[in-house]
Structure 1
Amino acid sequence: MDVLEAIALNPKYHDVLTILKGFRNGIVYGTRIRFPHALVMAFLFKSGTTMDKFRYVFRATKQHAQNLGTFATIYKVAMFVQKKLNGNKQADIHTFVAGLLGGYFVFGENNAINQQWTKRKRDWPKIVLYIFARVAIALVKVPVKRQVIDAPQHTYPVFAAVSWGLVMYLFHRDEDTLQPSLRASMQYIYRDSDSWDSLRTLIWHNK
């Protein structure tokens, strides 16, 4: 344990260990926010046996946690590589490129988990966001309809990549413009994973 503690606190390994903690924070955060939501949705709205409902909760939670953990890993690796290639200096554009890669490979799949939008019609600001999201998804399908390309899987990954590239760039440069809960989740996953003061706060606890 003393050896592991020494490695955890050695500045030489800091950049590499941020990748490990980024993955850990993504998994924890994804589980924490998805599990209670999936549990409520399963037992209020899903049909089937109790076991079927628990299987749904497990699958939904696993997918969400896996997505956030994998994205954080890709993002951190891309940031690390770009920094090394740039003379050990981080540039603003690095966040966009890293977010672009993570968005493409993790959120580029057109599935239900990646397309969660609110349906609370009484909340008018969310209606605008809901419509904006639907318009954006429709625009992804337009090139397919016009036969510019032959399949939606060619446009959706680009849409996801650009969206994640932009949000990571904004978080780095102008984080106060982002919605507070989104900002808080990104702080936990991507910024808190840059610091720790022991093996315990690297692996078991965020702080």
Structure 2
Amino acid sequence: MSDLLLYKKLVDALRHGVLSTAMGLRNGLHYGVKVRAPHALVMTLLFKSGSPIASNLASIVKMTFVHARNLGAFVLLYKALLALGRIAHAAAGRPLTTPAGTPAEAWHALLAGWIGGMLVWSKYSSVNEQIALYLLSRVVVSFVKMLAVRGVAPFSSVNYGQVYPYLAAGVWAVVMWLYEAYPKTLQPSLESSMRYLYADTNTWPSGPASFLPSAASAATLAAAVYLQRADLPKLWDLSAR
């Protein structure tokens, strides 16, 4: 490879790396706000409705900021490390066979993810833990699917649709057992949600009024009935989406 061609490849890789990293930071911040703000608002309304409004707003803003900050920082680091990998790849005179903005080698993604994970997500917090647990279930399912695609037995002999009913039943069986036997081992927000569903329903503090649906539930039911009025039985079909 001529020096001029190598120089051009390096400049192109550097330019695209800088721009793609900046765009990654922007999108990471935006997506963090878009995902966390509604979730934090709903959880606050459900479980902290009795707290002062100012305290609730501060909590929502803090959780949203932390999520957006961490996600933006991770995307920036990840994209920057991939860009450095591409620049090093080109500097070594090796051809770049993957699209700009992607890892020059598959293992670059693994290494960049590890470094970014250690620098950004490894400190324990409720937000970081929620994101890690969110990813964990999806990583496990994707890993099993990858084994099936690669022909690894027994995963290659069944499809996801065949296995899913057992996955769903098993997950619900285990989580209910853990909740009843070892509730404090569950992730705090999950334990709080399950307590609201399964423990708080053992008493009726307002007497008969306790059984009335909430305004949100009533509005949702009324809207669903109206929208599905042409085929109401379908509303109660648990197999329907």
In the superposition, the TM-score normalised over structure 2's length comes to 0.44
The answer for unaligned runs of 5 or more in structure 2 is: 1-10, 97-103, 135-167, 177-184, 186-241
- 1:61 aligned to 61, 64, 71, which one? 64
**Higher Rg of the two aligned structures:** 2
Name the SS of the counterpart of 2:90 in structure 1: coil
What residue number does 2:15 align with?
13
* 1:34 aligns to 2:48 (yes or no): no
What residue number does 1:102 align with?
116
Change in CA separation of 1:35 and 1:107 when aligned onto 2, cut-off 3 Å: same
Identity level (%): 30
Change in CA separation of 1:58 and 1:129 when aligned onto 2, cut-off 3 Å: farther
CA contact (8 A) 2:17 2:80 kept: no
Aligned pairs (5 A) from 1:119-134: 124=169, 127=172
CA distance in 2, matches of 1:45, 1:58: 16
Question: Structure 1: which amino acid aligns with 2:47?
Answer: F
Aligned pairs (5 A) from 1:162-173: none
The Cα of 1:87 is off from its aligned counterpart by: 2.1
- 1:73 aligned to 54, 73, 76, which one? 76
CA distance in 2, matches of 1:130, 1:91: 39
The Cα of 1:80 is off from its aligned counterpart by: 1.0
The Cα of 1:13 is off from its aligned counterpart by: 2.5
What residue number does 2:89 align with?
86
The Cα of 1:31 is off from its aligned counterpart by: 0.5
The Cα of 1:91 is off from its aligned counterpart by: 1.0
The runs of at least 4 consecutive aligned structure 1 residues that moved more than 6 Å come to 128-131
The Cα of 1:85 is off from its aligned counterpart by: 1.4
Please, what is the CA RMSD of the aligned residues?
A: 2.8
CA contact (8 A) 2:85 2:108 kept: yes
Greater relative CO (CA pairs within 8 A, separation 6+): 1
Q: After superposition, what is the alpha-carbon deviation per residue over 1:68-104, rounded to whole angstroms, capped at 9, x for unaligned?
A: 1000000011111111112254111111111111100
Q: After superposition, what is the alpha-carbon deviation per residue over 1:1-42, rounded to whole angstroms, capped at 9, x for unaligned?
A: xxxxxxxxx967222100000001111111001000101111
The answer for unaligned runs of 5 or more in structure 1 is: 1-9, 132-137, 139-207
Q: After superposition, what is the alpha-carbon deviation per residue over 1:150-207, rounded to whole angstroms, capped at 9, x for unaligned?
A: xxxxxxxxxxxxxxxxxxxxxxxxxxxxxxxxxxxxxxxxxxxxxxxxxxxxxxxxxx
Question: Structure 2: which amino acid aligns with 1:66?
Answer: R
Question: Structure 1: which amino acid aligns with 2:109?
Answer: T
CA distance in 2, matches of 1:65, 1:32: 9
CA distance in 2, matches of 1:128, 1:83: 47
Change in CA separation of 1:100 and 1:128 when aligned onto 2, cut-off 3 Å: farther
The Cα of 1:115 is off from its aligned counterpart by: 1.2
The number of aligned residues is 119
The Cα of 1:124 is off from its aligned counterpart by: 4.4
